Structure 1
Amino acid sequence: MVQQYTKEMIREVFIKKLNEHPLNKITVKDIVRECGINRNTFYYYYTDIYALLSEIFQTELQTVIDEYNDTLSWEESFLVATKFALENRTAIYHIYNSMQREELENYIYNVSGTVMIRYVEKVSKGISATQEDKKLIASFYQGALTEMLLRWVASGMKEDPNIVIRRIGQLFDGNIALSLERSVNLKD
């Protein structure tokens, strides 16, 4: 219990610092000073700041996975994934503009993939589409959503993702099911 509290405190202080300073200006010394712990305690949990950052993204990905269920549309699931970014805009912007941009890109790509794979599986119930086509359809939407979200971050996260994501959902409504149905009729 104490370990979980300490890790959570380290995480919260790090996110707070990221919302105040660029990633390359944050040190372990800054984090441990604000947490009131020693450096050894930090290193007991994390090898460095980048391991901490990676764990934060893994935790956020797990949140999306845990909250996803068959009653959610892909749009609702994706909005769950943008919650952390909206609550920590400056931190996300600092990560995006750092040498650790790849960590953010991987997080977005993994979230998009998780959401779209599950959604395509849900829509494909009762449709005899091939597994290869299901993967291809999910991969296509994963790439498109990843790129859109990265462009949103790059532009300063000014647009409301709720409006954009819902609009995309309306514009492409039924396309996944239609693509799956086409898969049934396609011959190799």
Structure 2
Amino acid sequence: MAQQYTKIMIRDMCIKMLNERPLNKITVKDIVSACDINRNTFYYHYPDIYAILSEIFQSELQNAIDEYNDTLSWEEGFLVATKFAMENRRAVYHVYNSMQKEELENYIYSVAGNVMYRYVERESEGIQASTKDKKLIASFYQCALTEMVLRWIGSGMKEDPNIIIRRIGELFDGHITLSLKRSGKFNF
């Protein structure tokens, strides 16, 4: 129990510091000092700061998966997944502008994939779409959403993601279902 508390404290402090300054300005010494623990305690839980980042994004991915349910549209599911970014804009921006940008990209790609694959699967009920086409459709939207989010982060996260995602949903409404029906129609 104490180990879990310490790990959470280290993780939370890392997020707090990322909201205050860039990743390359955060050291293990800063974290252990702020947490009032020794370096050995830190290294017992994490090999380095990058391992904390990896765990943060894995944990947030799991939270997004757990919160997404089959009653949500893909737009609502994706907005659930942006909650961490909205609550920690500066931290996300600092990670985006660091050498560890790949962790963030993988997180966004995974979230977009999970939301889209589940949504496409649900939309395909009663439609004779091929598995290959369902994966292709979900992958297309996964890539598009990932790139849009990365561009949004890169531009300083100024626009409200609720407006952007909902507008995309309005503009492309029905396209996924139409694509699935085409798959069933041309499925040999």
Provide TM-score, normalisation by structure 2.
Answer: 0.98
Q: Amino acid of the residue matched to residue 101 of structure 2?
A: R
Q: Which aligned pairs between 1:101-116 and structure 2 lie closer than 5 A?
A: 101-116=101-116
Name the counterpart of 1:8.
8
* Partner Cα separation in structure 2 for residue 114 and residue 22 of structure 1: 29
| SS state at 1:69 partner | coil
The reply to whether residue 86 of structure 1 matches residue 82 of structure 2 is: no
Q: CA deviation at 1:7?
A: 1.2
Letter in structure 1 aligned against 2:174: G
Gaps of 5+ in 2: none
Does residue 133 (structure 1) correspond to residue 133 (structure 2)? The answer is yes
Q: How far apart, CA to CA, are the structure 1 residues paired with 2:106 and 2:19?
A: 20
Deviation of 1:41 (Å)? 1.1
Tell me the number of residue pairs that the alignment of Structure 1 and Structure 2 aligns: 188
1:121 paired residue number: 121
Mapped to 2, the partners of 1:7 and 1:75 lie a distance apart of: 33
- SS across alignment from 2:37: coil
**C-alpha separation between the residues in 1 aligned to 2:5 and 2:180?**
46
* Residue correspondence of structure 1 range 36-47 to structure 2 within 5 A: 36-47=36-47
Match of 1:70 in 2: 70
TM value normalised by structure 1: 0.98
Structure 1: segments with no counterpart, 5+ residues: none
- Partner Cα distance (1:146, 1:164) in 2: 13
Partner of 2:174: 174
> Which position in structure 2 is the counterpart of 1:162?
162
Instruction: For residue 3 of structure 1, report the CA deviation from its aligned partner.
Output: 1.7
Q: CA-atom RMSD, angstroms?
A: 0.9
Match of 1:48 in 2: 48
Distance 2:187 2:2 in 1: 59
Any runs of at least 4 consecutive aligned residues in structure 1 with deviations exceeding 6 A, and if so which?
none
Confirm or deny: 8 A CA contact 2:10 2:31 kept in the other structure: yes
